[in-house]
Amino acid sequence: MTKIQLICMSGVVRIAVIKEQNLLDFGVWYPGHSDGFGDIYMGRVDSCLTALGGAFITLGKNLSGFLPENAGAKGLHEGNWIIVRVTRSHQGGKGLRLDGRNIPPLTLPKDKTPELLQAGPSLFEELAQRWHNADIISDELNITNLIPASYKSRVHLAKEPIDPEIMEQIYALETNEVALPMGMRASITPTPALVAIDMDTATQSNDNQNKLRSQFNANQLALPQLLHQLKLRNLSGAIIVDLAGLPIKKRRLFQREFEQALQNDPLHPKFLGFTNLGLAEITRPRKRPPLHEVFSCDHGQAIQILGNLERKFKSLASPHQYQQITLILSIPLYQALQNDQWAVNHFEKRCTISLSIESNPSFTTCQWEYQYA
């Protein structure tokens, strides 16, 4: 039976779609910090750039996005007003991508100003719709209050802890290493231009023929699990896969395996073939930020600190003797939490203590400390 498990820690909900002991889908949901995907804005054309094939649209204070000509920018002029939807969140050092087509009817403000008209669906809503027959199991009552009414009938409180094997699979997603069958491993290296995946096999043999056969079988067995990681980690854009230890001619025999494994991906990635060096090429649409950026951005790091602080506090012999925790952060992390008051309130509810946040300009980006009072 497939279920959607909501796993809560201060400021964050991990959403795991599970069947038996298999992780079918995954996402990290920050209820107090939207990634902006699907948001609809009233925007003003800031500049039209024919050389780039589109226009930059002002969406609000310090917020803008790029609208391609084929998505509605054609014929626009500076100062024009247009309603647009965010079709790609901030990621990979790139800004918002917009689309002005197929916008539903909305009540527009009387005074035109760049502003948010309608928030897009949350990651929770996206996964709940994708797995529409699955029960939703939450390990925290407070989180169920965030769930839209249309999903309430599917929600149940967890009666037992989540399977440790599933948690092991979830924590593995936070690393750049992937364990694969037959002792194989894959290393994932995101770059601004592409994601490089290097497969490696531990199979050794002095017989060249047996070695080649073993490497072929190992790659064949590992590929479906490796490509499943694209969905779990939301790796997007240009993706290059270096198969383990096979000559180029043998690698080309895996085209069907690539195409079949990618069919179950909801973003419909495309297998483009092999380069002259034998590297497999895949493109996967960029929509929401990939998992590694969700964790590594300032907000992601700040939320991880809240989780660490929660564990430290709850491990104390007598935590209830304290009335307040003061958390001191670097300026970027302080600003991230200042913009996510829900996360701060969530920490206070889970730990039943007041949390005060301060900044220290001398701290390095990842530096933090805390005090009890």
Dump pLDDT digits (tens) for 164-181: 999 999 999 999 999 999
The type of residue at 51 is A
* pLDDT surpassing 90 at residue 214: no
Q: Is the domain covering 297-372 a CATH 3.40.50.740 domain?
A: no
The 10s digit of each residue's pLDDT in 119-129 is 999 999 999 99
CB 229 within 8 A of CB 223: no
By C-alpha distance, which of 33, 29, 128, 46 is closest to 84? 46
Q: Which fold has domain 2-34+122-168?
A: Nucleotidyltransferase; domain 5 (3.30.420)
CB 340 within 8 A of CB 32: yes
Confirm whether 2-34+122-168 and 40-118 share one CATH topology.
no
The 10s digit of each residue's pLDDT in 257-271 is 999 999 989 999 999
The type of residue at 178 is V
Q: Is the domain covering 40-118 a CATH 2.60.40.10 domain?
A: no
Kind plus residue range of the DSSP H or E element containing 9: strand 2-9
Check residue 155 and give its pLDDT.
95
CA distances from 143 to 6, 49, 99, 313, 363 (A): 9, 44, 32, 21, 33
Q: Where exactly are the structural domains of the chain?
A: 2-34+122-168, 40-118, 173-284, 297-372
Average per-residue pLDDT in the chain?
A: 94
Percent of the chain scoring above 90 in pLDDT = 86
Scan for tokens 């027959």, then name that residue: 133
What's the number of CA atoms in the CB half-sphere (13 Å) around residue 89? 22
Question: What is the C-alpha separation between 69 and 101, in angstroms, rounded?
Answer: 11
* pLDDT surpassing 80 at residue 207: no
CB 83 within 8 A of CB 94: no
CB 65 within 8 A of CB 272: no
Scan for tokens 């592409």, then name that residue: 194
Strand partners, 358: 328
DSSP letters, 256-324, are HHHHHHHTT-TT--EEEEE-TT--EEEEE---SPPHHHHHHSHHHHHHHHHHHHHHHHHTSS-GGG--E
The 10s digit of each residue's pLDDT in 34-53 is 999 999 999 999 999 989 99
Question: What is the C-alpha separation between 343 and 329, in angstroms, rounded?
Answer: 15
